[in-house]
Amino acid sequence: MVVSGINMQRFGRTGVLMGGTSAEREVSLRSGAAVLDALRAAGVDAVGIDLQQNWADQIAKAAIDTAFIALHGTLGEDGCVQGLLEIMGIPYTGSHVMASALCMNKRLCKQVLGQAGLSTPMDIRIEVTGPERYPVFVKPVAEGSSVGLHRISSQQEWQALNIQSPAAWMAEMPVNGVEIAVSVLAGVALMPVEVAPKSGVYDYASKYTVGATEYFCPARLPMETVRYCMDCAEKAVAACGCTGAPRVDMIVGSGGEAVILEINTLPGMTATSLLPKAAAVAGIDFQTLCLRILETASLEYGQGVSK
């Protein structure tokens, strides 16, 4: 079957990897189900794989030729499943092993972005008693989807978090401005989506609760600022070696400077997700978006999907 010039048979049997064991399991299941439905509707021989215990065994039994990764968080987004698929010789979507591991570690990612001349929030040192100043945003060094993100204004609030391993956390000075997300599809930035959470903080609940956040695409910014942010996003994913359809989250201050918060290598594909919103504004419907992402499937050390 051929849709929009894409021969579906070239992908062979495609496994949509979803679920996993991270804190983002439920979101991943929603993303995976949406992708699976879209691929099947387009004529792809697709099967859903809810990864739980022995991932290698589950993938091997599914006998897939290509993997569409709809996982989020630990093991699914940090280079682990990517490395497994490399060993198994199965081309996959999203960023490869090294880029995935880099972007999951927010501290290392910030260093790479800084070396590329891109702005990130100022780090605040966490001492034995907590951050050395307030207010700050604190978040785990290696988690995704705003899991564990908190804005705290005092030592009492820090203590209330009851963090057992402070070294695994980082603190940043708040940045005021317009929060936007710029998705980069196959190296080309899509129109920025402005996020306006009603709570004032774009945390996990604001991301995945329908009606908790207002979205504007294009973002309500001057066009020259929009183009600048798109350019910054493309430079950020190139600096970190990301491929597929990563999303760059940033805040634009009153002076128009873009401060990059993080890079999400496997953005959500749910009803409230930002990548599908940006694609829609570009005239790319959800089914076509899934196919475009699937076309990017490849192996870091081998070949991509055969033409």
The matching CATH number, chosen from 3.90.1150.10, 3.30.1330.50, 3.30.470.20, 1.10.760.10, for 103-121+175-284 is: 3.30.470.20
Q: Is 145 a catalytic residue?
A: yes
State yes or no: pLDDT of 208 exceeds 70.
no
For the chain, the domains span: 2-94+287-295, 103-121+175-284, 123-172
The model's confidence at residue 7, banded by pLDDT at 50, 70 and 90, is confident
The model's confidence at residue 306, banded by pLDDT at 50, 70 and 90, is very low
The model's confidence at residue 28, banded by pLDDT at 50, 70 and 90, is very high
Q: Is 46 helix (H, G, I), strand (E, B) or coil?
A: strand
Look at 15-19, 120-124, 255-259, 300-304 and tell me which has the smallest mean pLDDT.
300-304
Per-residue pLDDT at 307: 41
Which of 31, 145, 183, 206 is flagged as catalytic? Answer: 145
State yes or no: pLDDT of 256 exceeds 50.
yes
Per-residue pLDDT at 144: 64
Q: Is 24 a catalytic residue?
A: yes
Q: What is the CATH number of domain 2-94+287-295?
A: 3.40.50.20
* Binding positions for Mg(2+): 249, 262, 264
From 157, 153, 209, 146, select the one nearest 179 (Cα to Cα): 146
* Binding positions: 249, 262, 264
Q: Share the mean pLDDT of the chain.
A: 91
Q: Is 179 a catalytic residue?
A: no
**Rounded Cα gap, residues 233 and 161, in angstroms:** 32
Q: What percent of the chain has pLDDT over 70?
A: 93
Q: Buried b / exposed e across 201-223, counting CB within 10 Å, b at 16+?
A: bbbbebbbeeeebeeebebebee
State yes or no: pLDDT of 263 exceeds 80.
yes
Per-residue pLDDT at 145: 54
Average pLDDT over residues 70-77: 94
The model's confidence at residue 297, banded by pLDDT at 50, 70 and 90, is very high
**Residue 269 near residue 55 (C-beta atoms within 8 A):** no
Which of 22, 24, 146, 172 is flagged as catalytic? Answer: 24
From 230, 228, 133, select the one nearest 189 (Cα to Cα): 230
Q: Is 99 helix (H, G, I), strand (E, B) or coil?
A: helix
Which of 28, 146, 183, 273 is flagged as catalytic? Answer: 273
State yes or no: pLDDT of 194 exceeds 70.
yes
Token pair 């604190």 is found at: 138
**Residue 73 near residue 145 (C-beta atoms within 8 A):** yes
The model's confidence at residue 166, banded by pLDDT at 50, 70 and 90, is confident
Q: What percent of the chain has pLDDT over 90?
A: 77
